[in-house]
Amino acid sequence: MKSFKTRLGNIIFEHDTAAAKLFDVVLLWAIVLSVVLVMLESVASFRLRYGGPLRGLEWLFTALFTLEYLLRLYTAYNRAKYIRSFYGVVDLLAILPSYLSLFLTGTQYFIVIRSLRLLRVFRVLKLVQFVGEASILTRALRASRAKIIVFLVTVVTLVIIIGSLMFLIEGPANGFHNIPVSVYWAIVTLTTVGYGDIAPKTPLGQFFSALVMILGYAIIAVPTGIVSVELSRAEKAAERTCTHCDNSHHDSDALYCKRCGKAL
């Protein structure tokens, strides 16, 4: 018969039994609610009217998450590994700011780090295909890392040159106060965000901006192209190979080889 510690560990760390699933659902809702609470607390009118209850609920959630963290520490197979894992660090960061806020003001808003715990939803849903999908996405992004670095260095060089030129063209009088601000404008423009808090006013500046925007057209196409190609390659790599005819282009849901008809 399994010990109490093992059974508790199964509920907390696994996602297969009914009790474990209930625990997961309750935990996810608690995370969502506590994040919503912190967000609401930052709204002045809410804080003034419901300040007391809000703080009370926040400490309740902090107590619950602290208890959960201690239970995880107690039941973990490999304590050191859990503490150093991504989820272990996030679990600790999710409760620290509350305690820090007793000594330091301003730290209570760091509680939103808690929202990182939402990523735990991928774990919980691992029974379905989600983790596989996430790992395809991750693999696609990792495979195009080299291209993305080349792309980013080029973009950074470009926005510094563009920003400096616009600083010389438009000057402080038209809102381009200095080169860093002009570089900020260049990024806002190249990424097609376009706040309009800084916008060219001289004809030459507007002409040059138009060139930058059309350049941005081409540039925004590059990461999209990279990700498309890598995604399509990662998907292919995730397919399965037939042991009879060596055909490797099978979809993940295939039961029989589509070339020779043998079972996979």
Q: Looking at 92, 100, 121, 238, which residue binds a copy of itself (CB under 8 A)?
A: 121
Contact 31, 90 (CB under 8 A): no
Nearer to a copy of itself, 9 or 88 (CB): 88
Residue 197 DSSP code: S
Nearer to a copy of itself, 30 or 181 (CB): 181
Q: Alpha-carbon distance 212 to 219, whole Å?
A: 10
Is position 252 an interface residue for a copy of itself (rule: CB under 8 A)? no
Torsion of CA 37, 43, 48, 53, to 10 degrees: 0
- Least separation in angstroms between residue 256's CB and a copy of itself is 4
Is position 204 an interface residue for a copy of itself (rule: CB under 8 A)? no
Residues 41-70 that bind a copy of itself (CB under 8 A): 42-44
Enter the tokens of residue 23. Answer: 């625990």
Q: Looking at 34, 62, 101, 209, which residue binds a copy of itself (CB under 8 A)?
A: 209
| 97 exposure class (CB count in 10 Å sphere: 0-12, 13-18, 19+) | buried
Helix (H) or strand (E) holding 120: helix 120-124
Q: Alpha-carbon distance 216 to 210, whole Å?
A: 10
Contact region for a copy of itself (CB under 8 A) — 14-22, 56-64, 70-78, 161-169?
A: 161-169
- Least separation in angstroms between residue 173's CB and a copy of itself is 12
Enter the tokens of residue 116. Answer: 């990182």
Per rule CB under 8 A, count of chain residues that contact a copy of itself: 101
Nearer to a copy of itself, 34 or 75 (CB): 34
Nearer to a copy of itself, 49 or 258 (CB): 258
Is position 106 an interface residue for a copy of itself (rule: CB under 8 A)? yes
- CA dist 57 to 26, 40, 61, 201, Å? 16, 12, 6, 51
Residues 72-101 that bind a copy of itself (CB under 8 A): none
